[in-house]
Structure 1
Amino acid sequence: MNNITGVYTAIVTPFSARGELDGDALRQQVKRQKQAGNNIFCNGTNGEFFMLSEQEKIQVTEICLEAAGDDTGVMSHVGEISTRDTIRLGKQIEKLGVRAVSVITPWFAALRPQELIAHFRAVADALTVPVYLYNIPARTGNTLTPDVVRVLADHPNIKGIKDSAGSYESLHGFHEVSQQFADFDVLTGPDSLIYRGFTEGSAGCISGIANIIPAQVNAVYHHLQENQPAAAEAVQADINKIRTDLYSIAFSPAVVKKAVNMLGFNVGESRYPVEFTQDDTQKILTVIKEFNLRG
């Protein structure tokens, strides 16, 4: 049985004033998410995986597992630009005891469908930990279509897809694939589609904005589990407003980290080359005050 269900927070990776991995701050953030009832997805876009060394990715995963304990799921992203590097990292990560790994499409190189299929099959063949595809074409330049995913869903070790394409149409296409395979699930990536994803078949969501509002994101899932769709939809409306206001300021993962800092948690500066102006900071503060956001 696949056990990636519910809310997984795409946890930020804290850095010290010297720009090094801050393990204590990461433990604090994992425990904060755990208190809200959320699981952990590490080394993703919000975790700045593009900016982490292989050893740092392993350390991040180790710390998350330690802080999460046995009752909180940890999923780690292991996708690299080459099949060989993805397998090498994946083999190291799976030994740590994560519940699953995600694998992004290779970036920069434009790949044909058969090349994407070969890449993911090779990774899934090489690993024993459950593998989830990760679709985020705006960042990678490569798109996983439902037709490609339908072929991959038949692999015994490919258990689902994290779809961060950003549209309902994309998510819906993967839900249709999921309905054809008993052991293949969809994880909603866009924060704007958490409610809709759960109501239409997603097993879980992986949320970046949960770094800022962990309880609210968990509430969408919790209300739906208790058959309270109106309450869940109302929380989703607030999430959408917060998301729209914040994500319009700058590259969203950097904004998320800045907001977490402004809530009173020292997670350090982003390694993404994003510089916040005084006006940017004021806009974030306005959102924090408008929605009475608290750490």
Structure 2
Amino acid sequence: MKRMFQGSMVALVTPFKDGRVDEPTLRELVEFQIKNGTDVLVPCGTTGESPTLTHDEHRRIIELTVEAANGRIAVVAGTGSNSTTEAIDLTRYAKQAGADGALLVLPYYNKPTQAGLIAHCRAVADAADLPLILYNIPGRTGVNMLPETLAALADHPYIVGMKEATGNLEQMTHDIVLCGDKLSFLSGDDTLTLPLLAVGGRGVVSVVANIVPRDVSDLVRTFLNGDWKRAREIHLKLFPLCQAMFCETNPIPVKTAMALMGMVSGELRLPLWPISEMNLTKLKAAMRAYGLIS
């Protein structure tokens, strides 16, 4: 039986201090998420600035997140790479460190064919012995996994889900039509969580949950429990804040928001750059309207 993941899964930021991973703050963020109803921690993804982490840092963050969670909630570690060998190595390490699963972003920059995507995902799944959630985000990778391609992978015992960040609800629906209950479909866009749930999704890998984890958790939980009216109310309340989280490249806005709330230093790694004054004004306005800052 496949291990499926669902609910509110937070795409954890990586806190930095003076150029290094801020380990005490990362532990605090894990506690904050657990106390506020998050179902799954997802370190070392896009929001965690994985492209700028050294391999040692990447491994340490996975290890530290698993250690801090201490079995209280699941950890699904980002382990994707545009090198299949590297993705296998990182996913094997996540397994060794005690992660419950891995998030496998599709290979970026190489622009593999659909056949190449199938071969890559199968190679990692065969080698790693860990449940994998595939991550389709064409805006960052330059390649889109088509529904028929996903369907060719859906029966693999270790491929258990898909994080969908195409922004295309028609494609997401086609995925679900072809794959049915073989995979757990998760929104990769906070603004599309409710629409994806409505066509059969099971949750979200959320950016905005870094600052409002309880509300994101309540949105998914109320929908899955059948209270669609309440879920819609939460969605509409969250919507302007979710939009503000993407006024610039993720994770610039969310880290800035967390700094304004005193949660992290807000330090980014190049080539990410501090938010513009114009967008900072927009972000603060959305946060004030939500009651996060005065």
Contact 1:178/1:185, CA 8 A, preserved across alignment: no
Number of the residue aligned with 1:20 = 20
Deviation at 1:69, TM superposition (A): 2.2
Deviation at 1:166, TM superposition (A): 1.6
CA distance in 2, matches of 1:113, 1:36: 39
Deviation at 1:203, TM superposition (A): 2.3
Identity between Structure 1 and Structure 2 (%)? 29
Number of the residue aligned with 1:192 = 191
Deviation at 1:206, TM superposition (A): 0.6
TM-score, normalised relative to structure 1: 0.93
Contact 2:208/2:245, CA 8 A, preserved across alignment: no
Contact 2:5/2:161, CA 8 A, preserved across alignment: no
Report matched runs for 1:90-101 at 5 Å.
90-101=91-102
* 2:123 maps to amino acid: A
Deviation at 1:225, TM superposition (A): 3.8
CA distance in 2, matches of 1:238, 1:91: 40
* 1:111 maps to amino acid: P
Deviation at 1:163, TM superposition (A): 0.9
1:122-176 deviations in Å (ceiling 9; x for gaps): 1111010111211000100011110100111122221121111122122212211
Q: Which runs of 5+ in 1 are unaligned?
A: none
Q: Which stretches of structure 1, 4 residues or longer, exceed 6 Å deviation after superposition? A: none
Number of the residue aligned with 2:78 = 77
Question: Aligned pair 1:112/2:113, yes or no?
Answer: yes
Number of the residue aligned with 1:170 = 171
Contact 1:10/1:206, CA 8 A, preserved across alignment: yes
Contact 2:4/2:161, CA 8 A, preserved across alignment: no
Contact 1:43/1:78, CA 8 A, preserved across alignment: yes
Deviation at 1:178, TM superposition (A): 2.7
Report matched runs for 1:1-295 at 5 Å.
1-16=2-17, 18-38=18-38, 39-179=40-180, 182-248=181-247, 250-271=248-269, 272-293=271-292
CA distance in 2, matches of 1:235, 1:226: 14
SS in 1 for 2:205: strand
Contact 1:13/1:267, CA 8 A, preserved across alignment: no
CA distance in 1, matches of 2:264, 2:55: 24
SS in 1 for 2:86: helix
CA distance in 1, matches of 2:192, 2:118: 27
User: For the structure 1 residues 246 and 7, does the alpha-carbon distance in structure 2 shift closer, same or farther, using more than 3 Å as the test?
Assistant: closer
Deviation at 1:202, TM superposition (A): 1.6
CA distance in 2, matches of 1:177, 1:253: 32
* 2:80 maps to amino acid: G
CA distance in 2, matches of 1:5, 1:226: 13
Q: Which runs of 5+ in 2 are unaligned?
A: none
1:229-271 deviations in Å (ceiling 9; x for gaps): 11110111122111223422x1131111111111111243121
| Cα-Cα RMSD | 1.7
* 1:81 maps to amino acid: N
